[in-house]
Amino acid sequence: MHQIFVGDKPIVLTTKVEKETDFRNFPLKKAYIKKAIKTLNKTDVKYVRLIGKKENKLLKKARKLLPNVIAGGGKVYNNKGEVLFIKRNKKWDLPKGRIEKNESIEEGALREVVEETGVKHLKIVKPLQLTYHVFKRNGRYRLKITHWYEMYSDYDGELVPETSEGITKVKWLNKKKIEKALKKSYANIRELV
């Protein structure tokens, strides 16, 4: 099962039609994507289901419904086992950003973590899952596909939030503080962490 988040509500990609209760069903077609997004934004439904025919083609079809923005980011650990978080728009998040032309996704993910936090000496440990979420820019909906990597850094210098990107805080959080921060985070970040 794949999920694309619109805020904290998911669009679930599936082949099964079920009787609607606290959700709505829509066909997995371009004509219905804006209706699905508006339903999530303007009603109290908990999620929307986009129904396709073939399980192995659901995500590929969904990616064609909106312009894609490819991003990369990091779940960065330090030598104390703490994880690097940023605060933007009053929500705790992990550092990430758009991949630039002529750079690999890994290079872009590393660059974005450095730019948004000031943390250096980063190493990619392994790839993590991809996350998908819808956002609106210049009046058009877009699908952000974020490639996540587990990273490590022994950096113990000053943390510098990239204020021009709306980041107000950068902190290393231990397990207890992560649990608290995730209550004020995004659904896709809660899934990733």
Same domain, 13 and 103: no
Q: Give pLDDT, residue 1.
A: 77
Containing 123, the helix (H) or strand (E) segment is strand 122-137
What is the average pLDDT across 148-160? 97
- Report d(CA 174, CA 7) in Å as an integer: 26
- How far is C-alpha 107 from the chain's CA centre? 18
pLDDT bucket at 37, cuts 50 / 70 / 90: very high
Q: Do 45 and 88 fall into the same domain?
A: no
Among the candidates 18, 33, 63, a domain finishes at 63
Based on the fold, state whether residues 80 and 57 are members of the same structural domain: no
CA proximity to 105, closest of 68, 79, 140: 68
82 and 46 within one domain: no
In degrees and rounded to multiples of 5, residue 152 shows phi and psi of -135, 145
Residue that is written with structure tokens 């009603």 in the block? 43
What is the band of 18 on the pLDDT scale with cuts at 50, 70, 90?
Answer: very high
Domain identity same for 139 and 178: yes
Residue 185 has a CB neighbour count (10 Å cut-off) of 20
Token readout for 144 is 């952000």
Structure confidence at residue 21 as a pLDDT band (50, 70, 90): very high
Q: What is the largest CA-CA distance in the chain?
A: 55
Q: Mean per-residue pLDDT for 133-157?
A: 96
Q: What is the pLDDT of residue 40?
A: 96
Last residue in a domain, options 37, 63, 89: 63
Where a domain ends, among 63, 80, 97?
63
Q: Is 74 found in the same domain as 56?
A: no
Cβ-contact 41, 2 below 8 angstroms: no
H-helix or E-strand containing 111?
A: helix 105-117
Kindly report the pTM of this predicted structure. 0.92
Dihedrals phi, psi of 182, to nearest 5 degrees: -65, -20
Percent of the chain at pLDDT exceeding 70: 100
**pLDDT value, residue 38:** 95
Range of the domain at 37: 2-63
Task: Quote the mean pLDDT of the chain.
Answer: 96
For residue 36, the model assigns a pLDDT of 96
CATH (domain of 154): 3.90.79.10
Measured between its terminal Cα atoms, the distance across the chain in Å is: 18
In the DSSP assignment, the letter for residue 21 is S
Share of residues in the chain with pLDDT > 90 (%): 97
Do 172 and 155 share a domain, yes or no?
A: yes
Parallel, antiparallel or unpaired: strands 2-6 and 9-14: antiparallel
For the chain, the domain total comes to 2
Residues 7 and 20 in one domain: yes
The amino acid at 164: S
Is 137 found in the same domain as 75?
yes
pLDDT tens, 45-91? 999 999 999 999 999 999 999 999 999 999 999 999 999 999 999 99
Whole-number CA gyration radius for the chain: 18
The predicted pLDDT at position 31 comes to 85
